[in-house]
């Protein structure tokens, strides 16, 4: 997980001058970033990873991390041969396209005599790729500004209620902040203005 904003960016809004208060920001930013990623069901930081996916007998295959930056290699069922007919159809949704389709040769019908084979036992496509955004504070950042705004607003809310909100059950300030919140979950854990933004980045399963 990477932070979706920086302490300097947040402090442009808060205008803090007290060193002890400023020291809280990094912890709030890390917590807010994690909450947003958990709610959205995805990570946003750019990384290179390998994903194994079962074919679906269509021309489309969807990767779990996006936007896709680059496909490095695709093999099928452990083959050493890299497939070259696959292209990025929609980088923003993680969609790949192959004119020959993504076959699923080891999937049986789900019947009493021939039950469906678990995904882990099928012939899988192994895809190495780079995906995600360059985060604030890094050269070339391209994280959507609206998403950073949501994180900034979340941190501002957390900072403002750090002493008044009854859902705060623990807070220590001794150079390092430790903050735990109550049981609010889902959209209820966010201010309405934040939830309205991050809903646009949420993966619905």
Percent of the chain with pLDDT over 70: 79
Decide if pLDDT at 125 tops 70: yes
How many whole angstroms separate alpha carbon 182 and alpha carbon 186?
A: 12
- The pTM of the whole model exceeds 0.85: no
Mean pLDDT, rounded, for 169-197: 63
Decide if pLDDT at 112 tops 60: no
List the domain boundaries for the chain: 7-43+141-201, 47-131
Decide if pLDDT at 175 tops 50: no
| Nearest partner of 131 among 73, 89, 70, judged by Cα | 70
Q: Which residues of 135-154 are buried (b: 16+ CB within 10 A; e: fewer)?
A: bbeeeeeebeeebbbbbbbb
């Amino acid at each position: 997980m990477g932070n979706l904003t920086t302490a300097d960016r947040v402090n442009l809004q808060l205008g803090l001058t007290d060193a002890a208060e400023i020291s809280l920001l990094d912890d709030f930013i890390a917590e807010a970033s994690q909450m947003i990623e958990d709610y959205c069901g995805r990570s946003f930081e750019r990384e290179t990873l390998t994903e194994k996916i079962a074919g679906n007998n269509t021309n489309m295959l969807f990767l779990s991390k996006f936007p896709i930056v680059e496909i490095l290699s695709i093999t099928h069922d452990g083959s050493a041969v890299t497939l070259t007919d696959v292209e990025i159809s929609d980088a923003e949704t993680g969609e790949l396209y192959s004119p020959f389709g993504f076959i699923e040769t080891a999937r049986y019908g789900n019947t009493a005599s021939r039950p469906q084979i678990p995904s882990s036992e099928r012939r899988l496509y192994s895809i190495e790729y780079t995906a995600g955004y360059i985060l604030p504070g890094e050269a070339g950042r391209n994280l959507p500004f609206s998403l950073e705004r949501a994180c900034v607003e979340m941190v501002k809310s957390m900072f403002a209620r750090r002493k008044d909100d009854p859902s705060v059950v623990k807070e220590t300030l001794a150079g390092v902040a430790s903050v735990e919140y109550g049981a609010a979950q889902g959209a209820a854990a966010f201010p309405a203005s934040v939830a309205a933004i991050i809903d646009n980045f949420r993966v619905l399963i």
